[in-house]
Amino acid sequence: MNAAKSGRPARIVQHGLFIDGHEVPASGGELLDVLNPACGEVIARVAHAGAEDVHGAVQSARQAFESKEWGGLSVRTRARLINKLADSFEADLDSLYALETLNNGRPIAETRAQIGRLPDFFRYNAGLALARRDAVIPVEGPYLTYTVRTPIGVVGNATPFNHPLMIMCKSLAPVFASGCTTVVKPSEYTPLTTLRLAALFSEAGLPPGVFNVVTGLGPTTGKALAEHAGLAKVVLTGGTEAGRIVAGLAGKNFARQTLELGGKSPVIVFDDYDVEQAVNYAAFGAFIGAGQTCVCASRHIVQRSIYDAFVERLAAKARSIRIGDPADPATQLGPVISAKQQQRVLNYVKIGQDEGARLAAGGKVPADPALARGFYVEPTVFSDVKPEMRIAQEEVFGPFTVVLPFDDEEEAIRIANNSPFGLAGGVRTRDVHRAHRVAARLRLGIVWINDHHRLDPASPWGGVAESGIGKEFGSESFDEHFDVKTVMVSTEDKPFDWYRDTAKQKRLN
C-alpha cells in the first residue's frame, strides 16, 4: 500500500484543544499520536487534556450558555443559525469524507453513505425547536396550570471511534436546538473530524464556547469530564464497562445520563424468508464498519430447515468481500481501528474454536502483503454454535458473526433474549403476524423487520439492560435537554386563611 493511495499526509499535523471558539494548547503539553489504521502510520498528533483543561472547557460552555450571544437568542434565530451550520457542514462533505476514512479506516463508500445524511440531523432538530409546545394542564379547581421548559445547561459528550461524526452529531444537534452547550471528548483514536467540525461551525458563526472539544485518554480526560460538577448531562457511546464507570462518576453530581453501550444483536431468520436476501442482510449487518458497530448482527438464529444453506451461502459471501485500502472506492471491508482490536478479534476466533464451534469462513489476517501494516481481519463466520458459548454471549466488536439453529418460534425468542444486552435485533419473515408478534417479545430497544442498521433522525435510538439507558434521536432526545417547570395560577381572588377553618378545606399540600 503506497502512501499516496492510503491518503497519508506529507507531514504530521498537530492539533490543540478547541475551547471558546479557537484552538489552544493543553496545559501539560503532552501530545498523543493518531494513526491511520489502514497502514499503521501516524497521521496527526493531538493535545492530551488534563483536568485543568477540561475545567476551562466547561467554564467556557457555561459562559456561552448564559451569554446573550447564545443563551439570549430567540428560538427562531437559533433555528436559523442551526440550519446555516447544516449548510456549512454539507458544503464541506468531501473533505470530511476523506478525513474520516483516513482516521477510522471505514471504506470511503460507507463513509459517504453515512456522513452525507448528518446535516439533516441538525435541520430536524431545528424543526423540533420551532415546533415545540409547552402544556396547559387541566387541574381540579380554579387554576390555570402550564409548564415551561428551560434548557438544562452544559452537556458532556464522550464519543467512540467507530462512527466519530455520526455519533457526535446525534447528540450535538439536540444540544444546539435546545439552547444548551457542550464539551465533547472524542475517542483518542479518531478525534480529527470532531476538531474539524468544531472549527467549521465556528467559522459559520456559532458563538464561542457553545461547542468545545477536549482530546485525550479516557482514564484522564474522559474521567475529568464525566465527574465535573458543572455538567447537567453526560452522554456516552461506548462499552458497557465504560458506561458503568461514567455512570458512577456522573451520578455523584446527579447529572442526567444517556448511555448507549454494548450489544450482541440477535437476528431471527424464519424459513419463509428468501435465504439469499437473508444472507445479504446478514453480511451487511455483520461486516459493515468492519463489524465495529454496537448493533452488529453478531448472532444469526436460523430455522433448522434452512440452516445449512444459510451457513454455506453466508460463508461464501464473507469470502467474496473485497478487503483493501479504505480510500479505494472498490474496497468493501477496511481495517479494525487498532492492533489491539485486531488481536481481540483473533482471540475470539481461538475461543470459538476451543469451545467446539466450526469456523465456516475467515478468522485470519488477510494474506495480501499490501495489507500487512494495517489492522485487518477477514470477515469471520462461526457455525455449530450453542447459545451459552462465549462467542454467542460476548461482544467482539469486529467482522465476526455466529449462526445458531432453532426449531420453532418459542425457541428462537428464547435464544434471542438469552443475553445481558438489549440494544437491537432483527426478524426475517414474510408472515406479517409473526413479524409483529416476535418483535413485541424481543427484549430490545430497536427491532428491524426485514432490514438492518437503519436509522433516522426522527426515530428513537437506545437499548435496555446492559446496552444502556436513555434515547437518542427523535423528540425523546430533544426533550431530555430541558428542565420542566410547572406554573400554577389561581384564577379566583377569594379570601384565604388556612388556620381559620382548617378542618373543612380539601387541599393537596
* Packing angle, helices 275-287 and 304-320, rounded to 10: 50
**Strand 211-213 to 464-465 pairing:** unpaired
Residues assigned a catalytic role? 260, 294
Angstrom CA distances, 451 to 264, 281, 314, stand at: 17, 7, 16
Give the whole-angstrom CA distance, residue 421 versus residue 295.
11
Residue 449, classed as helix, strand or coil, is strand
**Exposed, middle or buried, 392 (CB in 10 Å: 0-12/13-18/19+)?**
buried
Give the whole-angstrom CA distance, residue 418 versus residue 436.
20
**Where are the alpha helices (H) located in 335-403, listed in sequence order?**
339-354, 390-393
Task: Retrieve residue 192's grid coordinates.
Answer: 480529527
Please check whether residue 361 is in contact with residue 318, taking contact to mean a CB–CB distance below 8 angstroms: yes
Is the backbone of residue 8 left (phi > 0), alpha (psi -120 to 50) or beta? beta
What DSSP character marks residue 218? I
Give the whole-angstrom CA distance, residue 308 versus residue 310.
5
Angstrom CA distances, 202 to 122, 261, 268, 448, stand at: 15, 30, 46, 38
Backbone angles phi, psi at 278, to 5 degrees: -60, -40
Residue 408, classed as helix, strand or coil, is coil
Task: List % helix, strand, coil for the chain (3-state, nearest 5).
Answer: 40, 20, 40
Nearest residue to 419 (alpha-carbon basis) of 453, 467, 452, 380: 467
Task: Retrieve residue 433's grid coordinates.
Answer: 403476524
* Packing angle, helices 164-178 and 108-115, rounded to 10: 10
Give the whole-angstrom CA distance, residue 196 versus residue 114.
17
